[in-house]
Amino acid sequence: MADQIDHKLEGPEATTAFGHSLARLLRTGDMITLSGDLGAGKSTLARGLISQCLSDHGLPIDDIPSPTFTIVQSYPWPGEHDQGREIWHIDLWRIDDPEELIELGFEEALGRHVMVVEWPDRLQGLLPQDVLSLNLAVENDGARHLTSGDLAETWRDRLRPLGLG
Ligand SMILES: Nc1ncnc2c1ncn2[C@@H]1O[C@H](COP(=O)(O)OP(=O)(O)OP(=O)(O)O)[C@@H](O)[C@H]1O
Ligand SMILES: [Mg+2]
């Protein structure tokens, strides 16, 4: 596995499928950030990830609404040894002041829940060291280009079987 992800996603199904694959690698305490322009596919990836987590745990998938207005949507993470843990789907588009995040319990949630964060540039210094930073960009042919920041060792090890380098 290279030190970064560099991968073409041919169509929305590929974005969803990548979300499914990523879901299977997650551990509580992880943070994944999703950046990219409006319409790049961030929510498609997040929904793929969340729906896979829920279905793997036998939970119903009624709806995975966008957290644009609520900022945070949370889902149970009912692993046997992970009582009380959750998946937090966060959209920081409307956040201007990091103080608002602190009011939402963001600091307590860090390192405890699985965090999937859209528009992470609003986080300003609140990013943990082992974050998996993903970016989606629209290519000329309409497909999406998935890249990552430098991968922390834990992510290199976990992502290697997916062959995304
Ligand atoms: N790999 C892909 N190739 C082509 N289209 C894709 C791909 N992945 C997602 N899309 C499509 O891109 C559109 C926008 O996706 P999505 O809503 O997930 O973007 P977003 O980044 O969350 O946008 P916003 O910032 O506006 O919330 C959807 O129609 C989705 O089906
Ligand atoms: Mg979105």
Here the CATH number for the domain that contains residue 35 is: 3.40.50.300
Amino acid 83: pLDDT:
78
Q: Which domain holds residue 117?
A: 6-160
Spatial separation of the C-alpha atoms in residues 90 and 34, rounded to whole Å? 10
Sign of the Cα pseudo-torsion (142, 6, 13, 66, in order)? negative
Measured in Å, residue 108 CA sits from the centre of ligand 1 at 31
The total number of structural domains in the chain stands at: 1
In a domain? residue 165: no
Mean pLDDT of all residues in the chain? Answer: 91
Cα of 96 vs centre of ligand 1, distance in Å, is 24
Statement: residue 55 has pLDDT above 80 = yes
Task: Give me the pLDDT at residue 60, please.
Answer: 84
User: How many Å lie between the centroid of ligand 1 and the Cα of residue 40?
Assistant: 5
For residue 6, with 0-12 CB atoms within 10 Å meaning exposed, 13-18 middle and 19 or more buried, which class applies? exposed
Instruction: Report yes or no: 37 and 119 within 8 Å, Cβ to Cβ.
Output: no
For residue 147, being part of any structural domain is answered with yes
What does the pLDDT average to over 27-50?
A: 96
Q: What is the pTM of this model?
A: 0.94
Tokens 């609140």, residue located: 126
User: Does 70 reside within a domain?
Assistant: yes
Atom of ligand 1 nearest to the CA of 10: 1
Does 90 have pLDDT greater than 90?
yes
What is the distance between the alpha carbons of residues 19 and 34, in angstroms, rounded to a whole number?
11
